[in-house]
Amino acid sequence: MSMTKGFSNVFRVPELRKKILITLGLVFVCRLVSQIPTPGVDWQALQRIIADFKANSQGGGMLDWFEVFTGGALGQCAIGFLSIWPYISAQIVIQLLSSVIPSLEKLKKEGETGRQQLAQITRWLTIVLCVVQSWGIATMLSHPASLGQAFAGVEIVANPGLGFQLMTVIGMTTASLFVMWVADQITTFGIGNGASLIIMINITSRLPQAIISAWERYFGLAGVQASAPIAELPIVVLFFLLVVMGTVMLTQGVRKVAIHTTRRSVSGGNTYGMQQTFMPLRVNYTGVMPIIFAQPLIQIPSTLLLKFTETGSAVHRFAENLSDPGAPLHLVVYAVMIMFFAFFWVATQFNAIDISENLKKDGSYIPGIRPGRATAEYLDDMMTKITLIGGTGLLVVALIPMILMGWMKLPWAIASFFGGTSLLIIVGVALDTLRIMESHLLVRKYDGFLSHGTLRGRGGV
């Protein structure tokens, strides 16, 4: 009841109502950009090629990955095909480099001025990534034979050449930069993080297709008979609810580290000191980053091996097993890479030494642990244990769609919503957005979305 009342209160706050309407309008603009075809491309021929790829694969490959995160822009090769991803990639690169390059790390610590300079560097890197990626797409579209001998006689571009490549680069780069600007406007004037919201909307735009696929699977559609017993549907729905609950717990979970403060402060003539608080260490500190890193690093090498090795050879068979989401080899390599990148991301982003020094400067300490180096070692050991638990949970969520495709033969359109990057992003962004909306309601003395307590966001993309 509290949740329903909370949503009913949302539009009673003029400022919040304005932010929501601005967000919806800007999201609509982004979706419009993702539906404008690139000039000169025969999108019907492209869709036939995509259909052939899907017919020869079990789903879950790079093609499906692009389709998920571009919100269907792949099908007609829209100018918004790159969407917000070059900007996200640039942010990830700068975030990683700031941990190893002293000059970038210095900017990171210089407050607002340093953040603005890092943001400018990120935007320039975004332009570079847009140009490189759009040029590669234009080259691939101009030479379909590069996709395989089966497409040697296919023509996707009516007039291939330098003119088409330059036009594609300018169109896709401009569209991606426009989406980046729209994301910044959503962050500034709307609700939540603009880049995260755009990604979530791109993913959820495929939900109608998943519902149609589910209806066709269990009830039949347009003369097509159902391919699965109706008794399976309640089990699938129940399992989906359990997976969502587990994902929410993984996203919200924190390990509270007790902190004592010895510094005394005076307020209104009263002296305060020896306060006890806690430091929340998120269980899923890495977010979706390990999955985002692992998926391309498996699919890209396997795709290249399939293309440049002889059919039937040992290397070719190895590449086939590696690229097949249902194959044991793929699952094992995928699991190892997710766990590796989970620890790698924590090692590069969680700085226990800086945290311990800040605690020492503030006159704070962890009970039973000496300030300084001992605190840093304690936090580092604690974070390693937390990462093992969080990485295992992330691994389970990531593997569920692939297991469902292999075990229940669910199509990728349905299975992708049962876990992996899609579900993690949807749950995380939804929690962040609801948390921001709830904070607006509570400030104005309205009830929040929960009867007891408040929502916690996931704290990152």
- Write out pLDDT tens, residues 141-191: 887 766 655 556 677 887 888 888 999 999 999 999 999 999 999 999 988
Torsions phi, psi for 401 (to 5 deg): -60, -40
* DSSP code for 369: S
Cβ proximity of 108 and 117 under 8 Å: no
Q: How confident is the model at residue 452 (pLDDT cuts 50, 70, 90)?
A: low
Q: Which residue has better confidence, 73 or 153?
A: 73
Cα gap 152→310, rounded to integer Å: 17
Is the pLDDT at 11 greater than 80? The verdict is no
Mean pLDDT score of the chain: 82
Helix (H, G, I), strand (E, B) or coil at 279: strand
- pLDDT given at position 149: 55
- pLDDT given at position 99: 78
- Report which residue type is found at 272: Y
- pLDDT given at position 58: 57
- pLDDT given at position 89: 87
Is the pLDDT at 461 greater than 60? The verdict is no
- pLDDT given at position 272: 54
Q: Which domains are present in the chain?
A: 16-204 (1.10.3370.10), 230-256+282-418 (1.10.3370.10)
Average pLDDT (125-136) is 92
Average pLDDT (79-89) is 88
Residues near 174 by beta carbon (within 8 Å), at least 6 away in sequence: 79
* DSSP code for 145: G
- pLDDT given at position 268: 54
Lowest-confidence pick of 131-145, 263-277, 399-413, 439-453: 263-277
**Exposed (0-12), middle (13-18) or buried (19+): which is 218, by Cβ within 10 Å?**
middle
